């Protein structure tokens, strides 16, 4: 994502005639951005929610300020501490300007790519700007962390919001305070700003008046062509799901079919990105009859579809179709993220009602206990949920972009600001990257489903407590006695490993827990042929994750082979491969189907 044409040393001189033309065009393109932003308001279709979010930030940080100002002596001490460090920085900078050596007062994290350009260290002015920023943001974070009398949730929110503001105000984001951007702009006589403003206008238009930051080249991918292209057929469809059965590539297959329940927050093809990365294609090659749910991208007509409806019209409908097309009454199931949470609740419902159609279950980065759910809990309290419910009531669903933004905010220095700077200041289009294209291909969520999930899981943690109900059935995870396989990833910001580990212990059957390297996506999509990360095994989860990990065996490479061994051990019998084109259910269309192509 760096501009390879930006070569040091020396400050380039611009072509002033070209600069004047580019600045005029820049202003013209800025007008296009403003028009794209204002158009939804003029047409009465502007998306809400921003005012509520800003209001919560102001309220939260106001609480922090109030706690400090209630004790003037402590407030003075905090201010004095910052002043003292700035005096040290000023003295250090003066020494450097006089040609003397001076130790930095504060240094960035070695992993912080924002200050990688050598001039951040070599130039005393930019070094001062960098250190001043680091001192201020470190001080602000300490204020949030050390404010006395704050409840845990408010403190968590305050620290999260401070990090968001700090990321937004980084000097690396602005031309005047970033040496690399200064050189780029002078060398190109401002042409980079024109290109950036053109992309900004396009992205505001694509976001319906809100900025939808492009993270990949959107023109280089097409679902069904170079994404989600594992051969198969859609064998069943209702208003919530299409069920895909994949074509076999082996003569014999395991008797027990496999049903994949992906999250509905994004499209299912994260498990079928391309032939080299596709978990689905690989599972087919191991001799599994693979079925995968493809959730619809819901609109206002499905506003009342509930979490329980997703069980009945999603998982249960899929099980019925699998039985009709294969003659098998038992399946293995895989649930990913919120799809896994739904699968866990479904298994508890089935256990309570004597339903044995799912004989083994795998949970990929799935939370069922939300005690340690990480930074996403920042967005969950009664006031915020009520505000989201009021917004969803207007159209019957939550915009997919809202959840995508929330996920990106968990890692703003990786997933937001580098792209804003690269796209709109450097004027460089992002490289084609299938995973980030998928990340931007968000889906809407029905109001009833999303409200239930936020309240029952994140706010009340009722599934873990045995207080969640589907109809008259109370869901108790300890009643689930089938074998279960739980995969967590070590750097997961969405389903933290500690949270997955704790939830896995709630199940009543034989439990296998595996910890993979990397995060929520890369740790899961880690094929054996090109593994990037290792994994750890230590059998059943017990005690605390750190203690489990101390005794765990580190295994190089992908966790996929460990999983297929576990799957095969559950039901090793093999039968003749099943072709979806020849089953009792007449195929409706080729994979990947139609629902996956519905855009937000």
Give the residues across from 535 on adjacent strands: 516, 555
> First and final CA of the chain: distance in angstroms?
27
**Residue 335: helix, strand or coil by DSSP?**
strand
Catalytic status, residue 292: no
**Residue 309: helix, strand or coil by DSSP?**
helix
Of 207, 133, 142, 231, residue with least CA distance to 177: 133
* Cα–Cα dist 214/442, whole Å: 13
Specify the DSSP class assigned to residue 84: H
Of 456, 407, 416, 377, residue with least CA distance to 157: 377
Of 255, 295, 246, 242, residue with least CA distance to 275: 246
How do the residues of the chain divide into helix, strand and coil, expressed in percent and rounded to 5?
50, 10, 40
* Cα–Cα dist 205/85, whole Å: 45
Report whether 483 contacts 496 (CB < 8 A).
Answer: no
Is residue 397 within a helix (H) or strand (E), and if so which, with residue range?
strand 397-398
**Residue 156: helix, strand or coil by DSSP?**
helix
* Cα–Cα dist 483/425, whole Å: 52
Is residue 360 within a helix (H) or strand (E), and if so which, with residue range?
strand 358-364
> How many Å separate Cα 555 from the centre of its chain?
26
Of 308, 305, 280, residue with least CA distance to 294: 280
Residues near 262 by beta carbon (within 8 Å), at least 6 away in sequence: 268, 270, 271, 292, 293, 294, 295, 336, 337, 339
* Cα–Cα dist 242/222, whole Å: 19
Of 557, 565, 566, 492, residue with least CA distance to 528: 557
Is residue 192 within a helix (H) or strand (E), and if so which, with residue range?
helix 191-206
**Residue 583: helix, strand or coil by DSSP?**
coil
Catalytic residues: 337
């Amino acid at each position: 994502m760096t501009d390879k044409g930006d070569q040091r040393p020396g400050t380039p001189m611009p072509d002033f005639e070209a600069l004047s033309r580019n600045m005029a065009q820049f202003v013209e393109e800025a007008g296009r951005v403003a028009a794209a932003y204002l158009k939804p308001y003029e047409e009465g279709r502007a998306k809400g929610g921003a005012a509520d979010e800003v209001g919560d930030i102001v309220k939260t940080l106001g609480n922090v300020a109030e706690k400090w100002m209630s004790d003037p002596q402590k407030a003075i001490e905090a201010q004095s501490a910052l002043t003292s460090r700035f005096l040290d920085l000023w003295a250090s900078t003066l020494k450097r300007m006089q040609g003397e050596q001076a130790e930095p007062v504060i240094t960035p994290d070695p992993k912080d790519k924002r200050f990688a350009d050598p001039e951040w260290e070599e130039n005393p002015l930019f070094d001062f700007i960098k250190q001043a920023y680091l001192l201020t943001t470190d001080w602000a974070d300490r204020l949030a962390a050390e404010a006395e009398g704050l409840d845990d949730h408010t403190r968590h929110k305050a620290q999260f919001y401070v990090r968001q503001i700090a990321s937004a105000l980084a000097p690396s984001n602005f031309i005047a305070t970033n040496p690399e951007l200064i050189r780029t702009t002078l060398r190109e006589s401002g042409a980079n700003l024109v290109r950036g403003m053109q992309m900004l206008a396009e992205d505001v238009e694509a976001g319906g008046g809100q900025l939808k930051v492009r993270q990949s080249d959107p023109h280089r991918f097409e679902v069904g062509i170079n994404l989600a292209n594992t051969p198969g057929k859609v064998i069943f469809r209702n208003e919530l799901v299409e069920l895909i059965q994949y074509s076999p590539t082996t003569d014999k297959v395991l008797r027990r079919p496999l049903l994949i329940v992906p999250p509905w927050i994004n499209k299912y093809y994260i498990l079928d990105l391309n032939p080299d990365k596709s978990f689905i294609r690989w599972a087919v090659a191991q001799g599994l009859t693979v079925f995968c749910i493809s959730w619809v991208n819901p609109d206002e007509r499905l506003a009342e579809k509930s979490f329980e409806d997703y069980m009945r019209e999603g998982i249960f409908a899929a099980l019925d179709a699998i039985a009709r097309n294969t003659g098998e009454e038992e399946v293995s199931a895989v649930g990913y993220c919120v799809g896994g949470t739904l699968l866990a609740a479904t298994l508890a419902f089935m256990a309570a009602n004597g339903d044995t159609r799912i004989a083994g279950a795998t949970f990929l980065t799935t939370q069922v206990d939300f005690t340690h759910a990480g930074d996403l809990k920042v967005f969950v309290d009664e006031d915020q949920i009520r505000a989201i419910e009021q917004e969803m009531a207007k159209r019957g669903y939550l915009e997919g972009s809202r959840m995508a933004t929330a996920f990106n905010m968990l890692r703003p220095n990786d997933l937001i600001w580098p792209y804003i700077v690269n796209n709109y200041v450097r004027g460089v289009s992002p490289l084609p990257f299938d995973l980030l294209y998928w990340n931007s291909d968000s889906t809407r969520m029905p109001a009833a489903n999303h409200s239930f999930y936020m309240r029952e899981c994140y706010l009340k943690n009722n599934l873990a407590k045995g207080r969640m109900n589907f109809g008259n059935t109370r869901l108790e995870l300890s009643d689930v006695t089938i074998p279960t396989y739980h995969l967590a990833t070590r750097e997961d910001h969405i389903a933290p490993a500690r949270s997955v580990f704790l939830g896995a212990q709630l199940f009543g059957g034989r439990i296998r827990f595996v910890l993979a390297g990397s995060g929520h996506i890369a740790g899961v999509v880690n094929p054996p042929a090109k593994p990037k990360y290792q994994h750890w095994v230590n059998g059943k989860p017990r005690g605390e994750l750190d203690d489990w990990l101390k005794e765990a065996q580190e295994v190089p490479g992908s966790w996929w082979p460990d999983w297929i061994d576990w799957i095969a051990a559950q039901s090793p019998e093999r039968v003749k491969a099943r072709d979806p084109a020849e089953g009792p259910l007449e195929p409706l269309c080729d994979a990947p189907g139609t629902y996956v192509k519905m855009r937000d």
